[in-house]
Structure 1
Amino acid sequence: MNAPMSKTAVPALQLEGLRKSFGRTEIIRGVDLSIQRGELHAVIGPNGAGKSTLFNLITGRFAPTSGTVRLHGTDLAGMAPFQINRMGLSRSFQITNIFPKMTVFENVRCSLLWSQGYRYSFWNLVSRSRELNEGADEILEQINLTARRDLPAGVLSYAEQRALEIGITIAGGADVIMLDEPTAGMSHSETDYIVELIRKVTENKTLVMVEHDMGVVFGLADRISVLVYGEIIATGRPEDVRANPKVQEAYLGAALEAEH
């Protein structure tokens, strides 16, 4: 687990009165949530609870109907996803999002360009940048893909592609990492591999993840929030959430049974 932070510190993420409606349908219904710096936080809940919508509100893909999202105390209202990313928040998606025809190394190197100061300098030959190339190799080592460095990303196994996406997510130096179902569709051995990878690459960072695998959730998270029909019905340490009668009734009992 990451080191606990002071309760008086400015939260990494602060959601206040967050609501989102599509037409007359309200998907997120007044979410209040504070996530401290360095915390590993999981959001769980049944299908249709609004978890992906909540992620999209935090990362700027959707504008809230009302309420606020703050990153390290800064209100993100009106900011585009790329602006939020440059402020230190990065995310992955449920569907693997890589460049399959580019090499594993090139995928990571592309994700480093902005943070390394390349901006829109199209005349720079990135292949000649020692700092950029060394940075990409360091990330490949972190995510255990050095041996796959020169392969097209599309030929990697599913778990390796997810690992590459995590590498792309952390490449820009973000200190808040959001992972959307990082172990979905994986075998037990693949899941173990990804969990250890997440633990390693989020050290001293803030992690927010949506995940359906309860073994992953209870083994990785410092705190858990349970979202049901657009509302958070409980937030707390894993053992407290597991014992919460409201959570057991609304979601957890059925989810745990599905694991067996």
Structure 2
Amino acid sequence: MNAPDAPALELAGLRKSFGKTEIIRGVDLTIARGERHAIIGPNGAGKSTLFNLITGRYVPTSGSVYLNGQDVSGLAPYKINRLGLSRSFQITNIFPRMTVFENVRCSLLWSKGYRYSFWHMVGRSRDLTEATDAILEQINLTARRDLPAGVLSYAEQRALEIGITMAGGANVIMLDEPTAGMSHSETEYIVNLIRDVTEGKTLVMVEHDMSVVFGLADRISVLVYGEIIATGTPEEVRADPRVQEAYLGAALEAEH
């Protein structure tokens, strides 16, 4: 049951082990509704594992994940998605042979009530077409509407994936390294897009580019060896000596 006053996400004592190796070691974190929250940390810190625990790809060894006040620990990813959480992946995840329009339309089917009604002629649905076109306009891909998704530029494919992520109407959006491998101009394009399309929603992202993190995030959590060593505003995290020692100083130097 969705609790109106509950945080968007709450992690309580979250742990994950693979065999004898403990990757996530007792994470506690609360993310408010409407907050843009970044999770940063060195390679091997457990960021992707934490993402996969929240989204249901992995089952926690112990601890709990709450989405809008509801315990979703161990639920299948599609069930968590239908409760209001959607995610992107590090590797672009689209249907390259389908058109840009068809990619977005597919992601709208469940939320628009089509579900398992295979006898519906979705191409004749004005409501579905209008909703798809609205998302394409929002992600600046209207001009690419009828092209196969596979011919888009890398940044455009990432934009399409963000549109697919948004299409189900989720109020919690999780983006895994959305600007990885991009040029400066591509990064600027995607950052502006993320800022626009997540307005009023909760955003959780893993990101290595510190200019993106400090430009987008309201709060930042720093994960090191499976533990959160600091959470705060960008200014608080930047000034934290533990963060500087463990990660941030080296990360900032690497960008210059």
Match of 1:30 among 26, 41, 45: 26
Aligned: 1:118 with 2:129: no
Q: How many Å apart are 1:133 and its aligned residue?
A: 0.6
Q: Provide the secondary structure at the position in 2 that maps to 1:49.
A: coil
Q: Provide the secondary structure at the position in 1 that maps to 2:174.
A: strand
Q: Provide the secondary structure at the position in 1 that maps to 2:146.
A: coil
Question: Aligned partners of 1:79 and 1:121: how far apart in 2?
Answer: 24
Aligned: 1:226 with 2:209: no
Match of 1:142 among 125, 131, 138: 138
What is the aligned residue count?
253
TM-score by length of 1: 0.97
Q: Provide the secondary structure at the position in 2 that maps to 1:118.
A: coil
Segments of 5+ residues of structure 1 without an aligned counterpart are 1-7
Question: Aligned partners of 1:92 and 1:157: how far apart in 2?
Answer: 17
Q: How many Å apart are 1:63 and its aligned residue?
A: 0.3
Q: Provide the secondary structure at the position in 1 that maps to 2:52.
A: helix
Question: Aligned partners of 1:18 and 1:9: how far apart in 2?
Answer: 22
Question: Aligned partners of 1:178 and 1:235: how far apart in 2?
Answer: 18
Q: Provide the secondary structure at the position in 2 that maps to 1:137.
A: helix
Q: How many Å apart are 1:10 and its aligned residue?
A: 1.2
Aligned: 1:52 with 2:37: no
1:123-158 per-residue CA deviation (whole Å, 9 max, x = no partner) reads 101100000011000000000000000000000000
TM-score by length of 2: 0.98
Runs (4+) of structure 1 exceeding 4 A deviation are: none
Question: Aligned partners of 2:120 and 2:92: how far apart in 1?
Answer: 29
Question: Aligned partners of 2:235 and 2:214: how far apart in 1?
Answer: 8
Partner of 1:65: 61
Question: Aligned partners of 1:209 and 1:58: how far apart in 2?
Answer: 12
Question: Aligned partners of 1:77 and 1:65: how far apart in 2?
Answer: 10
Q: How many Å apart are 1:77 and its aligned residue?
A: 2.4
Match of 2:168 among 145, 151, 172: 172
Cα RMSD (Å) of the superposition?
0.8
